[in-house]
């Protein structure tokens, strides 16, 4: 299947190479007033351009925190440097997925890849954060969603942000640990909180606005920016009623070929239990209950990879 068209230009990140933290492509601004250290991160996946554009916009605006500290980081710069609009999926990573390696044993172990080297370089930055917004995007033109991990603190924080409209609580991937689940972020009793935005399709113009809006809602919710200023700058002020979805199943490709019954985009609600949504090696894949929500159907359908996640709507958390 040919990938969708790249409808946005590739941002020029060369002005931001030096950073001001001692780590290339990592910027930090201190308000000089007490408050949390909050970070917005883009390009954990080198081909997800909308997040990079949102950070460029914030840097061009010269936005500074009014309380606490604000860190802006571009993660997998080497994969990004290989981005090719004619083969835009190839630069997701170079040697390994940078959002599957966030385990201390791996980071402190002997393995060497491009991604591990950069992760080790970024580690002190991520470990210093009280709040993290990790900007991603999706293969399909799915409505935006926030992944808040499995902790109650993640769910409550997503509610406090109020944007985007859909929040998904999930455990990540069997293939490795995500940055938002790393150490303190994933520990229910520790304070730091991390959430992951899936802004929309990787190379759609609208995904940049979604990513930028999420950044400003994040800065409002963490109180490093005056709420009025944050909302004046945000492309979208309100997402309306939020809905919370708990992931119950990750459908992994077993044998293949894995074929979806329809061209699902994500967030479709399948009303009846037992509905066939795909076949895997000729075997039917059925929904396990009524009102089942499909989350991020994948186009990468090799055995061992997650094809789609299934979830059900749950009441929003109290804050």
Task: Pick between residue 23 and residue 296 the one whose CB is nearest to Zn ion.
Answer: 296
The end-to-end CA distance of the chain, in Å, is 44
Task: Pick between residue 45 and residue 100 the one whose CB is nearest to Zn ion.
Answer: 45
Task: Pick between residue 72 and residue 180 the one whose CB is nearest to Zn ion.
Answer: 180
The Cα 161–Cα 1 span in angstroms is 36
Shortest distance (Å) from residue 22 CB to Zn ion: 26
Residues touching Zn ion: how many (CB under 5 A)? Answer: 3
Shortest distance (Å) from residue 138 CB to Zn ion: 8
Binding Zn ion (rule: CB under 5 A), the pick from 45, 100, 202, 220 is: 45
Task: Pick between residue 57 and residue 136 the one whose CB is nearest to Zn ion.
Answer: 136
Q: Is 93 left (phi over 0), alpha (psi -120 to 50) or beta?
A: beta
Name residues contacting Zn ion, limited to 62-101 (CB under 5 A): none
For 93, the token pair is 């990573």
Long-range pairs, 258-265, Cβ under 8 A, ≥24: 258/301, 258/307, 260/297, 260/307, 260/308, 264/140, 264/294, 264/297, 264/308, 265/140, 265/141, 265/142, 265/143, 265/297
Binding Zn ion (rule: CB under 5 A), the pick from 37, 100, 136, 153 is: 136
**Residue whose beta carbon is closest to Zn ion:** 136
Task: Pick between residue 136 and residue 153 the one whose CB is nearest to Zn ion.
Answer: 136
- Interface stretch with Zn ion, choices 120-128, 134-142, 209-217, 307-315 (CB under 5 A): 134-142
Q: Is 189 left (phi over 0), alpha (psi -120 to 50) or beta?
A: alpha
Contact 133, 80 (CB under 8 A): no
Shortest distance (Å) from residue 137 CB to Zn ion: 6
Contact residues toward Zn ion (CB under 5 A) are: 45, 48, 136
């Amino acid at each position: 299947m040919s990938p969708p068209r790249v409808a946005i230009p590739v941002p020029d990140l060369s002005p931001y190479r030096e950073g001001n933290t001692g780590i290339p492509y990592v910027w930090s601004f201190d308000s000089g007033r007490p408050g949390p250290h909050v970070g917005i991160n883009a390009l954990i996946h080198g081909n997800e351009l909308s997040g990079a554009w949102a950070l460029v916009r914030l840097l061009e605006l010269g936005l500074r925190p009014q309380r606490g500290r604000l860190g802006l980081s571009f993660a997998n710069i080497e994969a990004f440097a290989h981005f090719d609009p004619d083969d835009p999926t190839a630069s997701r990573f170079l040697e390994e997925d940078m959002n599957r390696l966030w385990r201390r044993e791996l980071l402190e172990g002997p393995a060497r890849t491009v991604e591990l080297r950069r992760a080790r370089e970024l580690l002190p930055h991520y470990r210093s954060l009280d709040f993290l917004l990790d900007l991603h995007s999706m293969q399909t033109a799915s409505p935006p969603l926030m992944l808040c991990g499995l902790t109650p603190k993640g769910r409550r924080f997503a509610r406090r942000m109020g944007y985007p409209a859909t929040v998904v609580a999930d455990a990540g991937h069997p293939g490795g640990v995500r940055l938002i689940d790393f150490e303190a972020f994933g520990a229910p009793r520790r304070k730091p909180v991390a959430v992951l935005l899936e802004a929309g399709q990787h190379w759609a113009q609208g995904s940049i606005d979604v990513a930028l809006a999420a950044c400003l809602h994040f800065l409002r919710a963490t109180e490093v920016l005056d709420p009025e200023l944050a909302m004046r700058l945000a492309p979208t002020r309100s997402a309306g009623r939020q809905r919370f979805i708990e992931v119950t199943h990750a459908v992994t490709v077993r044998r293949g070929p894995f074929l979806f019954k329809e061209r699902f985009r994500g967030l479709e609600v399948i009303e009846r239990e037992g509905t066939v949504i795909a076949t895997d090696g000729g075997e039917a894949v059925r929904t396990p209950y009524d009102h089942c929500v499909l989350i991020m159907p994948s186009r990468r359908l090799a055995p061992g990879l997650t094809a789609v996640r299934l979830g059900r709507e749950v009441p929003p958390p109290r804050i």
